[in-house]
Amino acid sequence: MFVTKAAVVGAGTMGGEIAQTIAAAGFPVVLKDVEQRFVDQGLDKAREVTRGQLGKQVQRGRMTEEQADEQAGATVETIHGTTDYEGFGDVDFVVEAVPERIDLKRRMFGELDEVTPGHAILASNSSSLSIAEMGHATSRPDKVVGFHYFYPASVMRLIEVVAGEGTTSEETMAATTNFAQSIRKQPIRCREVPGFVVNRVLLSAISELWKVQDEEGLESEDVDKIVSDAGAAPMGPFYLTDLLGLDTVLHVAEHMNEAYGQRFHVSAKLKELVEAGDLGQKTGKGFYDHSG
């Protein structure tokens, strides 16, 4: 199956950038959220990312500022924002990017099953939840697949293509892998296990840092500086958590702890901040102060 039109449900931290990656590859995209202000934020993010990417071409003398602005505008114009399911009747591929709650995702997939054509592939950007469970909320579990981007979606090339246990067909896996390549991403295929591939690796490392912080009372900034100075990662784990959203990271961490036990430690400080409503960059405060 070939994709000629796509849709993204959820215009939050990832949704706007996901829509941008698809539009930048030449595909028309529908971007949906429950309120117009969220849709507008997603479109603004897509415009910002596109203009930033083209700015590098301007610096190299390959295009003018005016050409970059024109091309950025043309890319964003291929993204149609909506607060309902207008435009979903002829899509071939949908990426769900709503918050990491299985009840919410199951409801979204039930709705998508009703408003999209029967051949359409329904994909989830979930980082750890069961693809099969989402698929069972539809009449086409064989066409439900994991399509997990990494933050920031506009920069990171990797996408996990996840087969739901006993549900996703090989035809769906092949078509999804081909679509990932067509939007200039590097897909890796994996089975459905908690955390998939990358988060099992990432969270196992970060949970060790959380454990040391809880035991020794270390400051988040000091841990981040040590990790960054050692060249172990482009940014420290606490700053990364602020960017991803503390509520999202906590949900994944608790899910991994339930699945694998105490080798996946859950940060006490992370729980404390989430309970206080400090969710990172999106609320202005998390492990760091982002109010400026």
* Residue range 157-199, pLDDT digits in tens: 999 999 999 999 999 999 999 999 999 999 999 999 888 998 8
User: What letter represents residue 265's amino acid?
Assistant: H
Residue 232: give the domain boundaries.
Answer: 200-283
Catalytic residue status for 119: no
Q: Are 236 and 130 in a shared domain?
A: no
Q: Are 168 and 35 in a shared domain?
A: yes
Task: Single out the residue of 113, 109, 148, 131 nearest to residue 248, CA to CA.
Answer: 148
Largest CA distance in the chain: 56
Reported pTM: 0.86
Question: H helices of 194-278, where?
Answer: 198-216, 220-229, 237-244, 246-260, 268-275
Q: Are 163 and 206 in a shared domain?
A: no
Q: Are 133 and 272 in a shared domain?
A: no
Q: Are 159 and 106 in a shared domain?
A: yes
Q: Are 25 and 150 in a shared domain?
A: yes
Candidate list 80, 119, 148, 251, residue with the active-site label? 148
Per-residue pLDDT of the chain (292 residues; tens, 9 = 90+): 889 999 999 998 799 999 999 999 999 999 999 999 999 999 999 999 998 888 888 888 888 888 888 888 888 899 999 999 999 999 999 999 998 889 999 999 999 999 999 999 999 999 888 999 999 999 999 999 999 999 889 999 999 999 999 999 999 999 999 999 999 999 999 999 888 998 888 899 899 999 999 999 999 999 999 888 887 777 889 999 998 899 989 988 998 999 899 889 999 999 999 999 999 998 999 999 998 7
Q: Are 33 and 174 in a shared domain?
A: yes
281-292 pLDDT, tens digit per residue, is 989 999 999 987
